Amino acid sequence: MNDHTDTTTTTTATTTTPAGAADRSGPDLTFQDEVRDLVRDAYRSIPTGAGAAVTERYYDAHDLTGIPDDALAWALGVGDPVGQAGLQDGEVVLDVGCGGGLDSLLAARRVGPSGRVIGLDLLDEMCERAEAAARSAGLADRCRFETGLMEAIPLDDDTVDAVISNGALNLSARKSRTFAELARVLRPGGRLWASDLTVDEGTLPPEVLASGAAWAGCLAGALAPRVLRRKLERAGFIEVEITPVEPFGVDQASAYPLFPDELLAALRRLLPSEDLQRLATSVVITARRPASEHERPVVEAPRADPLVHTGVRALDDIAPDEVEAPGVTIRHLKRVDDVDLKVMDVEAGGSTPYHVHPHAHEGVIVQGHGALRLQDGDQPLTPGDVFWVNPTEPHAIAAAPDRSIQLVCMDCFVD
């Protein structure tokens, strides 16, 4: 194991950030550190993985021949991402949330002696297990395991050919940032191949969504396929495919040590019986980083909407008194390093024009209510919400019909 120590045990600790990794340490506006702490505690406290319940369900028995018993016992995934990832001799593969290392070992066999696998996990303990398994499988020379966060991957830009992941992406409380990190470390043209769970919107009751154990079990953090696709595309991925494999129900959940009896009982109590055997769906997520600028998806201007002025302009080119929408004012606050801070006020019923920025753009809602209008629909905005818009993505900020909205915008020129 290398010396990337786990530096994130408190909400104020910082993470070792390598060259190239996005460093946006600051106040935790949405309790993401608490989520990470509960995930860490949950995985640290389990005595073993789900073992045969996972390996027999998802893997080809032939592929598992010669894999050390410990790596099989620690299996905690929800699919077999390596089986069809088409890994080639000599490739460099990153296994995100590698756990006890099962998929890292399978990938190491596929990439051969000239290939390399880097297993990344939040926990030292998991990396140590994976490292021991690689040694006993005779694959240690092509594997290395690093303790670190998927939200700040300790690798340089453009360094891996393929990212694999099994039951780990859902654990991130900052998925947009995680996906941006995956895109960053992939070489142009590199592939993502992940197994995870998705949910149908509205299936899980609030009691389950608010349960730490359900988050640690990859359920409460699962996204609807539509949202997952949008986040991956916003991170710059193309050819995003989310392929359902099979339903994930309470019987499957009970095989994982992350699901305590109380949570299983709550699921049985709160959900109609017809939903119990399809709490979620295990899916295969595939996507690719564009090989060149030519492959970048063309972002169409959104449909005309009577509420807003249509047309796409770079808002930064518009002086405050020129904003073509009544009731919108933008005040420049200051520039901090590469970030411009502005305050935007939109009167009740008003909206900015649809516009794009050549750079990434974040905002925090200070007061009021409204919506972030995107091509595929509106996202409600309420105080404390943080939103993120990718470079060149058309969007508008609208106030609710009866409430104004005020936000602080951050134009991030580093991206």
Q: How far is the CB of 81 from ligand SAM (least distance, A)?
A: 8
**CA nearest to 307, candidates 345, 268, 354:** 354
123 lies in the binding site for ligand SAM (CB under 6 A): yes
Find the binder of ligand SAM among 93, 102, 137, 365 (CB under 6 A): 102
Query: Angle 225-234/175-185 helices, nearest 10 degrees?
Result: 50
What's the CA gap between 164 and 186, in Å, rounded? 11
Q: How far is the CB of 169 from ligand SAM (least distance, A)?
A: 9
Q: How far is the CB of 368 from ligand SAM (least distance, A)?
A: 33
* C-beta neighbour count of 179 within 10 angstroms: 24
Q: How far is the CB of 40 from ligand SAM (least distance, A)?
A: 7
Closer of 93 and 344 to ligand SAM (Cβ): 93
98 lies in the binding site for ligand SAM (CB under 6 A): yes
What's the CA gap between 47 and 70, in Å, rounded? 12
Find the binder of ligand SAM among 35, 39, 82, 214 (CB under 6 A): 39
What's the CA gap between 413 and 338, in Å, rounded? 5
80 lies in the binding site for ligand SAM (CB under 6 A): no
Q: How far is the CB of 363 from ligand SAM (least distance, A)?
A: 24
- From 109-117, 165-173, 201-209, 400-408, span contacting ligand SAM (CB under 6 A): 165-173
Interacting residues with ligand SAM between 169 and 188 (CB under 6 A): 171-172
149 lies in the binding site for ligand SAM (CB under 6 A): yes
Q: How far is the CB of 177 from ligand SAM (least distance, A)?
A: 10
Interacting residues with ligand SAM between 324 and 353 (CB under 6 A): none
- Buried b / exposed e along 266-302 (16+ C-beta atoms within 10 A): bbeeebeeebbebbbbbbbbbbbbbeeeeeeeeeeeb
What's the CA gap between 288 and 246, in Å, rounded? 23
- From 121-129, 278-286, 336-344, 349-357, span contacting ligand SAM (CB under 6 A): 121-129
Closer of 74 and 354 to ligand SAM (Cβ): 74
Token output for 413: 């020129």
Q: Give Cβ neighbours of residue 317 (< 8 Å, ≥ 6 apart).
A: none
77 lies in the binding site for ligand SAM (CB under 6 A): yes
* C-beta neighbour count of 79 within 10 angstroms: 26
Interacting residues with ligand SAM between 253 and 292 (CB under 6 A): none
Closer of 159 and 404 to ligand SAM (Cβ): 159
Angle at 322 between CA 332 and CA 328, to 5 degrees: 65
Token output for 165: 């992941």
What's the CA gap between 224 and 229, in Å, rounded? 9
Interacting residues with ligand SAM between 188 and 247 (CB under 6 A): 218
Closer of 120 and 283 to ligand SAM (Cβ): 120
What's the CA gap between 10 and 36, in Å, rounded? 10
Q: How far is the CB of 352 from ligand SAM (least distance, A)?
A: 34
Alpha helices, H only, 89-199? 102-111, 124-136, 175-185
- From 161-169, 247-255, 376-384, 385-393, span contacting ligand SAM (CB under 6 A): 161-169
- From 114-122, 238-246, 297-305, 388-396, span contacting ligand SAM (CB under 6 A): 114-122
76 lies in the binding site for ligand SAM (CB under 6 A): yes
Find the binder of ligand SAM among 15, 55, 166, 281 (CB under 6 A): 166
Total residues contacting ligand SAM by CB under 6 A comes to 26
Q: How far is the CB of 376 from ligand SAM (least distance, A)?
A: 27
Q: Alpha-carbon Rg of the chain, whole angstroms? A: 22
Q: What share of the chain is helix, strand, coil (3-state, %, to 5)?
A: 30, 30, 45
Closer of 108 and 410 to ligand SAM (Cβ): 108
**CA nearest to 176, candidates 360, 395, 408:** 360
Binding site for ligand SAM (CB under 6 A): 36, 39, 43, 75-77, 97-100, 102-103, 120-123, 126, 149-151, 166-168, 171-172, 218
